[in-house]
């Protein structure tokens, strides 16, 4: 079985036309159609059915695709691992992370790591909490940086730090002159929230329940900058990760207040598939992340968790 045919099968299964897949594989469309036909003969089942002008996977095709994805992922990881053994200062770190971490933590970690390993490339993906778990399970990312332990039996997790959550209120709000407030004091006000599925939404709802109320959703957005903008416009209040300071600015006339009746914080950690041998570059990135975040909030060294699996021949990174 030709790996290129498997890649073309994978592309067509994802919605690419046979003509486009043939062009990417640098073969003619009839040649690729014959190759896909031979693949069906080898598998012993029809993998595609035509719906209008496009090909759709049959039930047998959907089953086969899971195994084809696994084969191609293992082959690609094997090539990466060999390349990194030959030249340990190269490689690829495939990293997925929460949207809210893309403005501060991830850039800081990536910049510091590339200063130490300039030959390493990054494949970056942003997603909400549930999507991050799927990135690991589908092997489209080696590592994810997320806001809590996913609690999945196949996923290992290590805390990096504890990030404070502050109550953002408009600069003219009745509580804006305070530095510290009880979350229960805004129980009757509209909350500016991220959409369901985002980690910060779940943490906000849990803290509000702990404070004795269910937050009223005044607006649901996709990113923290939108939350800040709508709070500044006076449309509600919001729990927002660590603001740069507690003062209003011309662009964002907001006050950030510490909450006292519940613990306004969330865990930030790194996760990987526990049974999968990580490429050396990804393992070194975990070591770098643990070193870089040690001492921020709750030190990573105080958290418990398994040691990420190391590639057998790679030079070991520092112990966390």
DSSP letters for 155-184: EEEEEEEEEEEEEEEETTSTTTT-SEE-GG
Asked, for residue 312, whether it belongs to a domain, the answer is no
- Under 8 Å between Cβ of 254 and 231: yes
Q: Are residues 170 and 258 in the same domain?
A: yes
Distance CA 119, CA 193 (A): 39
Provide the domain count of the chain.
Answer: 3
Q: What is the CATH number of the domain that holds 291?
A: 3.40.190.10
Q: Flag whether pLDDT at 316 surpasses 60.
A: no
- Bridge-based pairing of strands 143-146 and 91-98 is parallel
Residue 315 lies in a domain: no
Residues 208 and 237 occupy one common structural domain: yes
Least confident range of 54-63, 68-77, 258-267: 68-77
> 127 and 100, same structural domain?
yes
Mean of all residue pLDDT scores within the chain: 85
Distance of CA 242 to the CA centre of its chain: 19
**One domain for residues 282 and 152:** yes
Element containing residue 220 per DSSP (H, E): strand 216-221
Domain that holds residue 290: 88-161+268-302
Same domain, 175 and 259: yes
Q: Is residue 105 located within the same domain as residue 155?
A: yes
Q: Compute the average pLDDT of residues 160-189.
A: 94
Residues 67 and 203 in one domain: no
**% of the chain with per-residue pLDDT over 90:** 51
Q: Is residue 311 part of a domain?
A: no
Q: Are residues 144 and 187 in the same domain?
A: no
How sure is the predictor about 277, in pLDDT bands with cuts at 50, 70 and 90? confident
Of 21, 53, 82, which residue constitutes the final position of a domain?
A: 82
| pLDDT at site 196 | 86
Q: Are residues 44 and 78 in the same domain?
A: yes
Residue 56 maps to which CATH number? 1.10.10.10
Same domain, 174 and 251: yes
Tokens of 272: 């990987």
Query: Packing angle between helix 59-86 and helix 280-293, nearest 10 degrees?
Result: 80
Confidence of residue 301 (pLDDT cuts 50, 70, 90): very low
Does 310 fall in a domain?
Answer: no
Decide which of 69 and 295 is more confident.
69
Confidence of residue 97 (pLDDT cuts 50, 70, 90): very high
Residue 90 scores a pLDDT above 60 = yes
Examine the domain organization and report whether 167 and 157 are in the same domain. no
Pair 236, 222 in one domain? yes
Asked if the structure places residue 308 within a domain, the reply is no
Tell me whether residue 76 is in a domain.
yes
């Amino acid at each position: 079985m030709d790996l290129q045919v498997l890649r073309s099968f994978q592309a067509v299964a994802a919605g690419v036309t046979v003509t486009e897949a043939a062009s990417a594989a640098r073969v003619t469309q009839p040649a690729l159609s014959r190759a896909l036909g031979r693949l069906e003969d080898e598998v012993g089942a029809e993998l595609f059915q035509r719906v209008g002008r496009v090909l759709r996977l049959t039930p047998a095709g959907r089953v086969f695709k899971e195994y084809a994805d696994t084969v191609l992922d293992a082959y690609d990881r094997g090539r990466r691992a060999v390349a990194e053994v030959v030249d340990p200062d190269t490689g690829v770190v495939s990293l997925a992370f929460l949207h809210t971490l893309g403005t501060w933590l991830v850039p800081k970690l990536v910049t510091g790591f590339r200063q130490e390993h300039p030959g390493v490339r990054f494949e970056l993906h942003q997603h909400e909490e549930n999507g991050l778990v799927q990135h690991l399970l589908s092997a489209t990312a080696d590592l994810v940086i997320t806001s809590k332990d996913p609690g999945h039996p196949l996923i290992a997790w290590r805390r990096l730090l504890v990030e404070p959550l502050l109550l953002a209120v408009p600069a003219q709000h009745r509580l804006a002159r305070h530095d510290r407030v009880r979350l229960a004091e805004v129980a009757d006000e509209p909350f500016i929230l991220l959409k369901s599925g985002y980690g910060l939404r779940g943490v906000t709802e849990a803290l509000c329940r702990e404070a004795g109320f269910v937050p009223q959703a005044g607006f649901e957005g996709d990113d923290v900058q939108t939350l800040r903008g709508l709070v500044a416009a006076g449309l509600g209040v919001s729990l927002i990760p660590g603001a740069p300071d507690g003062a209003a600015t011309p662009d964002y006339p907001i006050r950030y207040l510490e909450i006292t009746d519940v613990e306004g914080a969330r865990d930030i950690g790194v996760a990987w598939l526990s049974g999968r041998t990580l490429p050396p570059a990804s393992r070194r990135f975990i070591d770098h992340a643990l070193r870089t975040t040690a001492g921020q909030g709750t030190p990573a060294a105080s958290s418990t968790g398994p040691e990420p699996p190391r590639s057998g021949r790679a030079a070991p990174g520092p112990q966390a």
